[in-house]
Structure 1
Amino acid sequence: MNTKTAIASEDELRHGGSSAESMDSSEYDRFCLLRESFTEEKQAALIRKIDFRILPPLVLVYLLAYIDRSNAGNAKLFGALEDLGLSGQQWNVSLAVFFITYAAGGVPSNITLKRVGPRFWLPSLLIGCGSTIICSGVQSTYAGWISFRLILGIIEAGYRGWRLIYVLEGLFSVVVGVACFWLINPVPAKVTGWLTDKEREYLVLRNRFAVGGESGIKEREDFNMADVKKAFRSIHTYSVALTEFTVAVVVYRISFVLPSIVQSLGYSSVKAQAMTAPPYIFACVVTIISDLAADRYRQRALSIILPNTMAVVGFVIITITIRYHQIPGVTYFGLFLMAGGLYPISPAVMAWVALNMAGSMKRAAGLGLMMSLAQLGGIVGSNIFMPDEAPVYSTGFGICIAMLTAFGVIWPGIYYLILKRINSRRAAIPVEEVMTKYTPEQLTDMGDESPLFRYAL
């Protein structure tokens, strides 16, 4: 979820109702005064300033982390299996073990990020990731390969060509990671230099009261194990994790086999590498458009359902046409639809679960738990594309189509209707009745379980 989403979506994180007694009325009054002084034009300018400062280094960090964990497919084209003496099944196992430690590290990593801040934690992770990638490129045994895949997982949550892929990409990640100690900004309260005192105060208070709407109810910001436990008990964590699990099953394995699929269309190893880029570029464009539309029209469910539908269509085209080498262009077109549908889903899912969890620690733990559960899908995905079925992969493509349809198209629609029904029931309760029954502190502790909270749809 980008900065614009996090800051500009306060209406979606709304408790209903008019002004009421707050935990700290003077602080809330100050927020209201600042909000009046920030016109729509000033607010848009502030958001743009934040986007330009915050997003570039974070985008670079995410890009490098993704490349580092998914470059095994490219290494395979350049002889990694032969040099390491691996069978197809051993290769699948080496891909799967990454997700064990990756899943286990999700919640602790997110809590640590919340405690120590992004400026220190994110660069440290990237440096560790790059160092592990370099080591992966210079070892030469199955045991060594497995070991470094495990280490890589817990950090991210005469050389042959494939070795150079690992060493050079890992080295670049380490260099960028060191630079990010200065490039990544801290939380708004600690920003100096490019935010005025007034802007900084407004952002801090806006984040604090975002879930309270006009009620003046704060969001809990301190470290609280009760909020972490609530995240583990929240049905919303597991509901959205179903969709993200499906995406992980599909995306991570597809990123490993895509170069081989393109090569099967009649291209050399080098050209196949280049031909994998356009589908990803298309996916980037679709992701940006999808996120902008979701922000503008406040439709979180549709930003998940529509891309999943596109991905299903792409998989159907690939499944039918990949058997016929006379029409490689049609298969390649299917790859565009597949990638363009798959990659917008995770940002949309992350935004949806973040918007529907109140309490910063509950949100951090909930996001970490959701991603941990979802990454277990990588283990499944690593074993459904059978090496002896290449490049048709009938089992893998069939499972992908079934899972995307069930948990990417149908289930989000059902979850949308459930949230809509909850919102309707809460809206029927008079605000005065809620404020009489509960104290502001109780409503803060309740978070998204509060009768005043409205779920983003």
Structure 2
Amino acid sequence: MSNESEKVPVEDTGRGQSTAASLSDESITNPTGINEKALLWKLDLRLLPPLTLLYLLSFLDRSNIGNAKLDGLTKDLKITGNQYLFALTIYFIGYVLFEIPCNIVLKRTTPKLWLPTLMLVWGIVATLLGVSQSFVGFLAARFFLGVTESGLFPGVVFYVSMWYKRTESHYRVALFLSAASLAGAFGGIFAYGIGFMKGVGGYNGWRWIFILEGLLTVFIAVVSYFLIHKYPSTAPFLTEPERAFIQARLKGTDANNSEEFAWSNVVAALKDYKCWLYGLGFHTMSLPLYTFSLFLPTIISELGYTAAQAQLLTVPPYAVATIITVLVAILAEKTHRHSPFVLASSSVAIIGYIILLSAPIKKPGVSYFGTILAAAGIYPSCAITKRATATAMTITIGNLVAVLGTQLYRPKTSPRWHLGHGFALGYLVANLLLQRHEAGEVPTEELVRSDEDVR
């Protein structure tokens, strides 16, 4: 190979999906002057932090209702137990109904415009939750919060695919999903501190939880217009050789796939049993994930702790979950396998729920330890499963089960919560059975190839 840099001709398709012409495999994998590992690290530093922050605030704004409940939400708005559950449910109805329309808008605009705009709008809606004066108004805000957040995760997955190879993007998505558990930790800390604002401006503490966290989202959304980039072909932090190299190494992948939509591809994906297996795997993890994040403050409070104590006690389970999620994502990437890690993580969560169902009521410390194990198992398992099934079909299946999950922790089942804990335990056991069926470990690339046209 010549030591002189080759000039790579680039043709722009008009959507930021440029292709490099006449490149040999050798020049793609090791072009003169381009250090691939250094370039990937450069992309990670520029792309992952803002994406992780977006997802963190998304999960924070959807789950902080559990913290607000402890600070007087239901009392002030005269919300009954069943009405509160419906307020949780309606979020996911809006989420599921508008997920596909939001994806269509994304494809017709750009991630640089669409993702920060989504965030700006949901931040405004989240703020309005704090000034709601009636249950009906609160319901309307929760519904539109689901609508505006529905395009974030699929949008981020699409955005990541524009920069990384398929196998590389799985790892990055798993890392950014760790923000879900990190959001829970921050939510507990914020709720504890904001609880002392009771009476400020004539507002109770729960209102300030929504207002301040919503305004934080609005602020980050404005900043995100400068942090989210369009595509590699226009990224200002890349040199021309780096842009050409990125486009060349992605040639033929989802990012540069110009194949038109065809219903035959959809039918083929629906007939592929691997799509359904992985979809069911994500389905079995979604219910424990959402029920845990929405009800943890209430579960801890019912163990006999005060509202302020319960807010703080939500932090350790999420902190442990965040650390383990990152470690598991790294190990899964290095070994190129995910089933063994999902099996191990789900087993830890199962032990946690068994403790929650069987621990003596008079020993809250034992039950609290069960919540730590549940978090330490749910979040890593869900991150690994979701990163391997990030397609429209599987995401929709997973979010539909969240509608069921919001109705399981009914007030009359307190403090043992047999119904909610029992369902979560059953779903985790089902996840184990599915993972055992996948013991042969079908390569994730095969799944994505078979389902990529359903996105």
1:319 and 1:394 in contact (8 A); partners too: yes
CA shift at 1:282, angstroms? 0.9
Give the residue type in structure 2 aligned to 1:393: W
How many angstroms apart in 1 are the aligned matches of 2:374 and 2:41?
31
- For residues 171 and 403 of structure 1, do their structure 2 counterparts lie closer, same or farther at Cα, with a shift above 3 Å needed? same
1:336 to 372, 380, 384: 372
Hey, what does 2:419 align to over in structure 1?
395
1:198 aligns with 2:230: no
Query: SS where residue 130 of structure 2 aligns?
Result: helix
Alpha-carbon distance between aligned partners in 2 of 1:32 and 1:331, rounded to the nearest angstrom: 57
Per-residue CA deviations over 1:32-81 (Å, capped at 9, x if unaligned) read 31312379x92221111111110111111000000101111111101111
1-structure distance, mates of 2:338, 2:100? 24
Please name the residue that 1:224 is paired with: 261
Letter in 1 for 2:248: L
1:27 and 1:239 mapped to 2: Cα distance? 38
Provide the secondary structure at the position in 1 that maps to 2:79: coil
Distance in 2 between residues matched to 1:63 and 1:340, nearest whole Å = 18
Shift of 1:103: 1.2
Is the counterpart of residue 53 in structure 1 residue 54 in structure 2? no
Question: Does 2:449 correspond to 1:448?
Answer: yes
RMSD between aligned alpha carbons?
2.8
Taking structure 2 as the reference length, the TM-score comes to 0.77
1:7 is aligned to none
- AA paired with 1:384? L
Change (3 A) 1:108 1:44: same
The structural deviation recorded for 1:400 is 0.9
> Could you state the TM-score of these two structures normalised by the residue count of structure 1?
0.77
Match of 2:398 among 365, 374, 385: 374
Question: In the TM superposition, what whole-angstrom CA distance separates every residue of 1:78-133 from its partner, at most 9, and x where no partner exists?
Answer: 11111111111111111111111101222332343344222111111111111111
Instruction: After TM superposition, give the deviation of residue 325 of structure 1 in Å.
Output: 2.2
- Indicate the percent of aligned positions where both proteins have the same amino acid: 30
* Deviation of the 1:368 alpha carbon: 2.8
Which residue of structure 1 aligns with residue 216 of structure 2? 172
| 1:208-357 map, 5 Å | 208-209=251-252, 220-221=257-258, 224-226=261-263, 229=266, 233=270, 235=272, 236-321=274-359, 323-326=360-363, 328-353=364-389
* Matched residue, 1:386: 410
SS of 1:138 mapped into structure 2: coil
Correspondences of 1:109-124 after superposition (within 5 Å) = 109-124=102-117
Structure 1 contact 75–165 (Cα < 8 Å) conserved: yes
Contact 2:20/2:251 (<8 A) preserved: no
For 1:201 and 1:391, locate their aligned partners in 2 and report how far apart those are by CA, in whole Å: 59
Residue 420 of structure 2 is aligned to residue 419 of structure 1: no
Aligned twin of 2:4: none
Residue 162 (structure 2) pairs with residue 162 (structure 1) = no
Unaligned runs of 5+ in 1: 1-24, 212-217, 355-366, 424-445
- How many correspondences in the alignment? 381
Deviation at 1:231, TM superposition (A): 7.9
**Cα distance in 2 for residues equivalent to 1:177 and 1:368:** 25
Measure the CA separation in 1 of the matches of 2:335 and 2:441: 20
2: CA distance, partners of 1:449 / 1:375: 21
- How far has the Cα of 1:352 moved from its partner? 1.6
Q: Structure 2: state its 5+ residue gaps.
A: 1-18, 151-201
Q: Separation in 2 of the partners of 1:288 and 1:224?
A: 35
Deviation at 1:197, TM superposition (A): 1.7
Distance 1:105 1:38, change over 3 A: farther
Equivalent residue for 1:34, pick from 6, 11, 28: 28
Q: Deviations along 1:149-187, whole A, 9 cap, x unmatched?
A: 111111111111111111111111111111101011222
Matched residue, 2:227: 183
The residue number in structure 1 matching 2:6 is none
For residues 353 and 237 of structure 1, the distance between their equivalents in structure 2, rounded to whole angstroms, comes to 8
Find the aligned partners of 1:142 and 1:44 in 2 and give their Cα distance. Answer: 53
Distance 1:343 1:449, change over 3 A: closer
TM-fit CA distance, 1:378: 1.4
1:253 Cα shift?
Answer: 1.9
Cα contact 1:316–1:401 (8 A) shared by 2: yes
* Kept in 2: contact 1:68–1:170 (CA 8 A): yes
CA gap 1:368/1:447 in 2 versus in 1, 3 angstroms: closer
